[in-house]
Amino acid sequence: MAACEKNRTIIEDLESCDNFCSEVHTFSDWVKEEEKNMARFRFSFPPGLSSHSGIWESKEPEYDSDGDIIVRRRGDDDEGVVQLQHDLSTPLAGVGKQIWRGSLLLADYFLHNHQKMQNKKILELGSGTGLAAIIASFCGAKVVATDIDGVGVLERIKENILKNNSLLKMDILVKSCDLRKNKYSELMENFDLIVAGDIIYDDDITDAFIDYLESVWQVDRSVEVLISLEKRFVFTLEALDTVAPAYDYFRSKLTSQEQLYDLRVQDISVNFKQYFCYDKESHMVLLSIKCNQIV
């Protein structure tokens, strides 16, 4: 996480901050719409995938981060736009209302592998603003987007889905899911792929996430789990070094399950083509987890 100062981020100690802000806000085009924080995130179409309607359907003027009107360029037909309502900063409990790099990396992965996404049944945990779910639908997947209830995140997902209806090629079903309260009994079967972007930042949530995966593997060993995250480094006096404690804790918990469920944990290279504009730095991680099938 990072503390927010306007549209730039400054890395600080999480415990000393009241509000947190994602750095991706600096890569979006702001939209003037009443009092809402709306932004357009542009992406390029991969070969063989395009939108047949709606990309430039809106006639509203677009503005860059300096407030200047954006003039459309030739070649813009090769670009898509996701328009999202999101918060510039939130308390830790409401970070799902922001856009994080893990979701952008997931969206890039879907676009790069769009042919494999056709008719896939995808469950997204911690959907936040719904960005990755919208792109998965655009790639032809059937998506169930989930997040916690009661803090306005589910309403935000639904609003953003409606705002980007012209992009959708499959319906997106929005459901409540709080891993910490074990409210997910209906979300353990009949999915080809379970994805999560940037939910590894709190040890209690990590514990709940691993418990959920364990419940899934007990009933369905065929599902693949795809996790996108950003290693968040801090300097600790205990280690006298810069470490990524949330990521390290997650990998230690995952290691404890590998032998029990005969897992294959694979680090997927993130060096595939980038379709959205953001800093895809070296500490971005994409993990694939599969159970070895019992013959």
Token digits of residue 287 = 């993990």
In the chain, the percentage of residues whose pLDDT exceeds 70 is 72
Q: What is the pLDDT of residues 127-168, one digit of tens each?
A: 999 999 999 999 999 999 999 998 889 999 999 999 999 999
| CA distance linking residue 175 with residue 124, whole number of Å | 10
| Cα 62 from Cα 67, distance rounded (Å) | 9
Q: Which domain holds residue 89?
A: 3-291
- The CATH code of the domain that includes 228 is 3.40.50.150
- Count of structural domains, the chain: 1
Q: How far apart are CA 142 and CA 123, in angstroms?
A: 9
Q: Please report the pLDDT score of residue 208 as a whole number.
A: 95
pLDDT digits (tens, 9 = 90+) for 1-21: 232 332 223 233 333 345 555
For residue 89, pLDDT over 70 is answered with no
Identify whether the C-beta of residue 174 lies closer than 8 Å to the C-beta of residue 154. Answer: yes
The pLDDT tens digits for 36-73 are 678 889 999 998 887 653 333 333 455 555 666 555 44
d(CA 257, CA 265) in angstroms, rounded, equals: 10
Alpha-carbon Rg for the chain, nearest whole angstrom, is: 19
- Helices 101-112 and 131-138 cross at an angle (nearest 10°) of 10
